[in-house]
């Protein structure tokens, strides 16, 4: 697995055996879609795994990445990959937490949020408040199994979907009706 574009292009990334990394095709679709919004963005990588999506985002222009991961082996992999790319720690933070706990406690907002939960063991209820981490221009990208599709999320509208054989991607924006004058 390698960084595919930007200032860290070609750098090798390693991943623990217990994760399912995004394919080059999945990364291409994701970054072709978000590239116009990536420069100087704040990026949240939920279920970070090896950190490859967050590192790719930094490589292609994101300002700062927050990685959220509960597995200690995966956190070691994220840390190792960041060091391998010589990324200074002022550009990222790693949070050792399960996603549910992080989402319920944080009050930060992000320009781009990426989530790649375990395909068959995901609690969609955890994502019902994801819009509180978003502003009107934010994007939420969800990678999931077609065998376990997500429900509709309050306050979010799907603006793009991409279906592959064993993986689907949905791109969401905050519903503009959430920002109407009261």
Task: Measure the CA angle with vertex 143, ends 141 and 11; round to 5°.
Answer: 85
Spatial neighbors of 80 by CB under 8 A, at least 6 apart, are: 14
* Cα–Cα distance for residue pair 129/134, rounded to 1 Å: 10
CB 118 within 8 A of CB 138: no
| For residue 172, pLDDT beyond 80 | yes
| 178 compared with 20, residue with greater pLDDT | 20
Model confidence at 36: pLDDT above 60: yes
Query: How much is the CA Rg of the chain, to the nearest whole Å?
Result: 15
Q: Does 179 score more than 60 pLDDT?
A: no
Percent of the chain with pLDDT over 90: 77
Q: Where are the domains of the chain?
A: 24-179
Here the tokens at position 103 are 């989402």
Q: Are 174 and 156 in contact (CB under 8 A)?
A: yes
Q: CATH: 3.40.50.150, 2.40.430.10, 3.90.660.10, 3.30.70.120. Which one for 24-179?
A: 3.40.50.150
């Amino acid at each position: 697995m390698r960084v595919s574009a930007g200032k860290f292009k070609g750098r090798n990334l390693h991943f623990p055996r217990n994760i399912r990394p995004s394919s080059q095709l999945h990364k291409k679709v994701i970054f072709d879609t978000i590239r116009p919004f990536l420069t100087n963005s704040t990026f949240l990588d939920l279920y970070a795994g090896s950190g490859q999506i967050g590192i790719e985002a930094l490589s292609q222009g994101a300002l700062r990445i927050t990685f959220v991961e509960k597995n200690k082996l995966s956190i070691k992999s994220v840390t190792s990959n960041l060091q391998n790319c010589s990324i200074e720690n002022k550009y990222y933070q790693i949070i050792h937490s399960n996603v549910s706990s992080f989402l319920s406690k944080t009050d930060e907002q992000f320009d781009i949020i990426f989530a790649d939960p375990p395909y068959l063991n995901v609690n969609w209820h955890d994502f019902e408040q994801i819009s509180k981490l978003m502003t009107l221009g934010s994007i939420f990208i969800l990678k999931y199994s077609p065998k376990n599709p997500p429900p509709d999320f309050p306050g979010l509208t799907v603006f793009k979907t991409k279906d592959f054989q064993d993986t689907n991607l949905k791109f969401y924006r905050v519903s503009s009706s959430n920002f109407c004058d009261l």
